[in-house]
């Protein structure tokens, strides 16, 4: 079985294509599930909260996935993995957009004075809003053309992703009422990825 499909992955390009297809599938399935649940009225008693939590969590998952590419490349020597990082980052952005839209529209019906009040008065909303704003320049400069045009500055700019990750995790910690189990799990994953990255670059330099 494996041998019969292995020619598919024989070339780096085929491998990248296959992985990209897998990412598209993995990213569309949660959205599809959300849509089905919405249509069948199965989002629970508080559907807006469900959508906000769901899309926020998936944005965080894709953020962590995109941050896992570099450690994976260094550790497993899979340098071609870099080709899928942008896709993961853009899916993080897509989920973040749906997250923010569900907050602005479904939760607050675009009531801007109320939204302004909520952002200014509640630290977790302010931190979340900041994280989202910081994703905008990254998404805007994700094209090949932007990478070429910005050269070294592109790398500096895209290091903002670490700030975004910290803000997103803080957003999660602060919104939880008392049981911090889930934010702890995501924070540990993030810390693990950062540690692995630091250790692997250190090893390579030695």
Partner 1 sequence: TAALAARKTTYGQDEKLTSYEDITSYNNYYEFGTGKADPAREAVLFKPAPWTIKVEGAIKQPKTLDIEQLIKLAPLEERIYRMRCVEGWSMVIPWIGLPLKALIDWAQPTGDAKYIEFVSHNDPRHMPGARLPVLDWPYVEGLRMDEAMQPLAILAVGLYGKVLPNQNGAPVRLVVPWKYGFKGAKAISTIRFVEKMPTTTWVKAGPREYGFYANVNPQVDHPRWTQSSEKRIGAGLFAGRIKTRMFNGYDEVGQLYAGMDLKKNF
Q: Which residues contact partner 1 (rule: CB under 8 A)?
A: 38, 43-49, 106-109, 111, 114, 117-118, 121-124, 174-175, 177-179
Minimum CB distance to partner 1, residue 63 (Å): 23
CB of 191 to partner 1, least distance (A): 23
Q: Of the two residues 124 and 154, which places its CB atom closer to partner 1 in the complex?
A: 124
Measure the CA–CA gap between 12 and 63, rounded to whole angstroms. 24
Torsion sign over Cα 164, 148, 145, 87:
negative
Residue 58 and residue 30 in contact, taking contact as beta carbons nearer than 8 Å: yes
Q: Which is nearer to partner 1, 75 or 173 (CB)?
A: 173
Nearest distance in Å: CB 31, partner 1: 16
Judged by CB, which is closer to partner 1: 9, or 50?
50
Q: CA torsion 45→51→53→59, rounded to 10°?
A: 170
| Residue with smaller CB distance to partner 1, 41 or 204 | 41
47 neighbors 103 (Cβ within 8 angstroms): no
């Amino acid at each position: 079985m494996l041998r019969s499909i292995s020619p598919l992955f024989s070339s780096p390009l085929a491998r990248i294509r296959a992985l990209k297809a897998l990412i598209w599938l993995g990213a569309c399935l949660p959205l599809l599930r959300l849509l089905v649940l919405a249509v069948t009225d199965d989002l629970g008693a508080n559907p807006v909260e469900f959508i906000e939590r769901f899309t926020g969590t998936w944005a965080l998952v894709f953020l962590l996935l995109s941050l896992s590419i570099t450690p994976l490349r260094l550790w497993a020597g899979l340098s071609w993995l870099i080709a899928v990082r942008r896709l993961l980052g853009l899916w993080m952005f897509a989920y973040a957009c749906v997250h923010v839209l569900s907050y602005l529209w479904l939760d607050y019906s675009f009531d801007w004075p109320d939204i302004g009040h909520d952002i200014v008065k509640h630290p977790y909303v302010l931190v979340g809003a900041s994280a989202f704003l910081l994703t905008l320049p990254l998404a805007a400069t994700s094209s090949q053309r932007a990478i070429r045009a910005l050269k070294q500055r592109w790398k500096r700019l895209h290091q903002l992703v670490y700030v975004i990750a910290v803000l997103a995790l803080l957003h999660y910690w602060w919104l939880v009422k008392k049981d911090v189990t889930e934010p702890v799990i995501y924070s540990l994953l993030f810390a693990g990825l950062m540690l692995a990255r630091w250790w692997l670059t250190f090893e390579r330099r030695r």
